[in-house]
Amino acid sequence: MPPVTRPRRQDDFARFPSSTPIVIDNGASTFRIGWAGESEPRVAFRNIVQRPRHRSTGETVSIVGDTDPALMKFFDCTRSAIRSPFDDDVVYQFEYMEYILDYGFDRLGANSEVGHPILMTECECNPSFSRARMAELLFETYGVPSIAFGIDNAFSYKYNQKLGNCGEDGLAISCEHGTCHVVPFLKGQPVLGGCCRTNVGGFHITDFLRQLLSLKHPYHMASITWEKAEELKKEHCYIALDYMSELQLFKNNKEEAEEKTRYWQLPWVPPPKEEPPSEEELARKAALKEKAGQRLREMAAAKRSQKIVELEKKVSYLEELMEQLDEAEESEATAILGRSGYLSQQEIRSAISKATQSLRKAKGESNGNEEKTDASAADKYPLVSVPDENLTPEQLKEKKKQILLKTTTEGKLRAKQRRAEEEALREKQEEQRRAENPELYLEELRARYSELSERSEQRKRQKVNGGQTNGNHSSSSGVGRGERLNAAQKERMRLLASAAFDRGKGEDTFGMRDEDWLVYNKMSKDNDDDGNDDEESELVRIASKLQEIDPTFVSKPETVQPTPEPPKVRPLTAEDYRIAIGIERFRCPEVLFQPGMIGVDQAGIDEMVSISLRRLMEDESVKERLCQSILVTGGSSLFPGMIPRLESGIQQYRPYPARLKLVRAADPILDAWRGAAAFAASSKFGKQTFSLADYREHGENLFHRHNIVYSL
């Protein structure tokens, strides 16, 4: 992007006599201000205002014109957009206009007062309310003595007429920021009755280009700014002589099209390449890992030995204590117990056994806990065998507990035994059957196996797919809202819904009956697997058996859900950061000729010429004369190929053979200001202006009639 240069404040404001008019070309894209009679405007800036918040002070400030993006970091622009006082080509937001005028006069060097007549440009047939507000602003806020308004394109035409580019009678075709105009001139005066305006201009071209590119490259939307699009437009866009054939050229992918395509490379840094680690690196990593492991192992060993020592100490201490207790008298024993912190001898004993057990564990020996409990079953329930008469009530209670415990453990043991017996019996029966008819048996086994495995598979599928059992194994396996649920899940949903619905409705009798609580069992998610375990174990058993007796049997592998291949992420290359501008180069400026492309139902600039000539109630000979002097001006007329295309376009609307002469303005951008400056420098300029007194006398009516005479 070209560096943004802020206009310097002029320091010779005081040198100009108060009769020298200030000339302002108030264009929708650029504001230019300077002195009458000079050849260049003193100050020019983009006609925009933004009001961001200054970050450090929190003040809202006004910034006019383009800004250096590097300096915008000091401002918070999130809540302020870039504003223009223009709608199409008419000033309608006079608050923003005031900021712009403030900045314009300030840059021109105004100190105590503006105090000079003003010549300001405006669009063709500017609505009188806009003129009135502008005049009001200039008179009342800036204290301007007198004002004249003139049409920018007329000044441009007059300036080029002086240069000899066009005649007294002719046409001006102007492609501006928000609009395009065609203005006929007769005897050097614009004929407003023959004017014609289409609301398409350079703004729309830039916007169209920006939108197209950002739609095509959504990832780079942030890079495709308005300023960038404007720059691309100015640099690369052109107008096709024949739009349709140019399109065909691009459509058929000719080499020429490739040649005409431009590329914009966004800044792109290739990602650092991941190199496979070298042998050394691997060895070093392994050594490090090994070292760390060694250290951990050492630490664990040290901890263990320390623990063993501690436990041994404890055990020996406790054993000593026991010995002391055994030897000691009753009274002494209580004292010793009190000192040791244990309540009874039994407690010490249990502590010893506990300590020895953990000691064994620490030493890595197997603890014979299991057998010990079995063996000590008798002394675990010592009270069971003692008759009731010999026991105190407390002991009786204890005895009851012990009996209960004993019976349950025994029951469990018995059940286990019975199951084992049953298993053995079945085994035996099966063995028998197998012996009787091995073929049949194998067949049965296989059938059972396939049935079971099928069922378990189906269950798994249901779990994953939410009941997609119709064999439609699509990749959408997530249980979404639209997915079907299996019966159990449906039931759960129903229960939950009804529970939620019943809450707070009528009398709540829930819990009166014990069965009520079962509903929670049903609701809970875990019961899905209920009843499946048996089948699973059966399946495993049959599989093992089959493996034993059937050499051809291959157990079905665990069904692995086919995990979708992770989408291959293609590493981004510089090409992904390259924005091609091919067809857009001529597609965007084409909106000037075919406004319908962006939904504006108006005639394009070539047709506008014929409309303008039709509106002009003149003879055909006059029209022909006008066509000999067509001036093309305005910033959007700078596209290469504009003049030939306009010529061929206008030919279509003129009787054959039309003799046309099209000339591009000497400087399509600055000529309006230069013409205005020359006009204001004329000695008769004073007659064209109106003063504050005129304004007070006539009010807004003044502006209906205010049309300056351009030929001085």
Partner 1 sequence: MESEVVRTEMVLPLALPFKKVQMADKYPKGQSRGRQWKHLRLLLQAADASSMPPDRPNYLNIQSPPSIYPPKRYCDITGFEAPYVDPRTKLRYADPEVFKQIRMLHDDYVQRYLALRNASTPLK
| Distance (Å, whole) CA 399 – CA 638 | 111
Please state the closest distance from residue 212 (CB atom) to partner 1, in A. 7
Shorter beta-carbon distance to partner 1: residue 479 or 580? 580
Q: Is 635 buried (19+), middle (13-18) or exposed (0-12) by CB count in 10 A?
A: buried
Please state the closest distance from residue 516 (CB atom) to partner 1, in A. 49
How far CA 259 is from CA of 209, 328, 580, in Å, comes to 20, 113, 12
Shorter beta-carbon distance to partner 1: residue 25 or 607? 607
Shorter beta-carbon distance to partner 1: residue 193 or 382? 193
Please state the closest distance from residue 121 (CB atom) to partner 1, in A. 15
- Residue for token digits 């249901």? 462
Shorter beta-carbon distance to partner 1: residue 612 or 629? 612
Shorter beta-carbon distance to partner 1: residue 61 or 288? 61
Please state the closest distance from residue 536 (CB atom) to partner 1, in A. 45
- Residue for token digits 């012996």? 435
Shorter beta-carbon distance to partner 1: residue 69 or 438? 69
SS3 of residue 411 by DSSP: helix
Please state the closest distance from residue 128 (CB atom) to partner 1, in A. 7
Shorter beta-carbon distance to partner 1: residue 220 or 484? 220
DSSP state of 60: B
Please state the closest distance from residue 181 (CB atom) to partner 1, in A. 8
Q: Is 201 buried (19+), middle (13-18) or exposed (0-12) by CB count in 10 A?
A: buried
Please state the closest distance from residue 696 (CB atom) to partner 1, in A. 16
Please state the closest distance from residue 115 (CB atom) to partner 1, in A. 8
Q: How many CA atoms, within 13 angstroms, populate the side-chain half-sphere of residue 655?
A: 6
Name the residue type at position 707: N
Contact between residue 160 and residue 149 where contact means Cβ atoms under 8 Å apart: no
Please state the closest distance from residue 90 (CB atom) to partner 1, in A. 6
Shorter beta-carbon distance to partner 1: residue 188 or 582? 582
Q: How far is CA 77 from the centre of its chain?
A: 20
How far CA 352 is from CA of 307, 377, 699, in Å, comes to 15, 19, 115
| Distance (Å, whole) CA 632 – CA 172 | 6
- Residue for token digits 């030493």? 363
Please state the closest distance from residue 80 (CB atom) to partner 1, in A. 11
Sign of CA dihedral 402, 407, 408, 410: positive
Nearest to 635, CA basis, from 4, 25, 7, 6: 25
Shorter beta-carbon distance to partner 1: residue 30 or 462? 30
How far CA 582 is from CA of 238, 245, 631, 705, 708, in Å, comes to 11, 15, 30, 49, 46
| Residue 443 burial (CB count, 10 A) | 11
Please state the closest distance from residue 691 (CB atom) to partner 1, in A. 16
Cis link prior to 21 (omega < 30° from 0)? no
| Distance (Å, whole) CA 568 – CA 580 | 25
Structure tokens at 71: 């300096």
| Residue 128 burial (CB count, 10 A) | 15
Shorter beta-carbon distance to partner 1: residue 128 or 453? 128
